């Protein structure tokens, strides 16, 4: 948890955005049949998207907290 607090909030937001983007692009590629849909890939896509959402929210909260102090 200390490593998260020492990270730059803007980097966390950017990393969260990239992760959510990956979580959006992978299902799109599965739907248009560019890559074959499988259980692991679908689960991985969901997990990456969810983690990206959390990173973005935590990064935004740290950014607001740092701006107030």
pLDDT by residue (tens digit) across 4-59? 667 788 999 999 999 999 999 999 999 999 999 899 999 999 999 999 999 999 99
Nearest to 27 by CA among 44, 4, 14: 44
Q: Does 65 have pLDDT greater than 90?
A: no
For residue 1, name the pLDDT band (cuts at 50, 70, 90): low
As a whole number of angstroms, the distance between CA 69 and CA 55 comes to: 21
Within 8 A by CB and 6+ apart from 35, the residues are 26, 29, 41
pTM of the complete model? 0.83
As a whole number of angstroms, the distance between CA 21 and CA 47 comes to: 12
What pLDDT sits at residue 7? 79
């Amino acid at each position: 948890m200390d490593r998260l607090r020492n990270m730059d909030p803007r980097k966390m937001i950017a990393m969260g955005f990239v992760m959510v983007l990956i979580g959006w692009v992978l299902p799109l590629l599965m739907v248009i049949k560019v890559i074959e849909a499988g259980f692991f890939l679908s689960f991985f896509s969901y997990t990456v998207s969810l983690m990206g959402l959390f990173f973005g929210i935590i990064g935004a909260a740290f950014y607001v907290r740092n701006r107030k102090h």
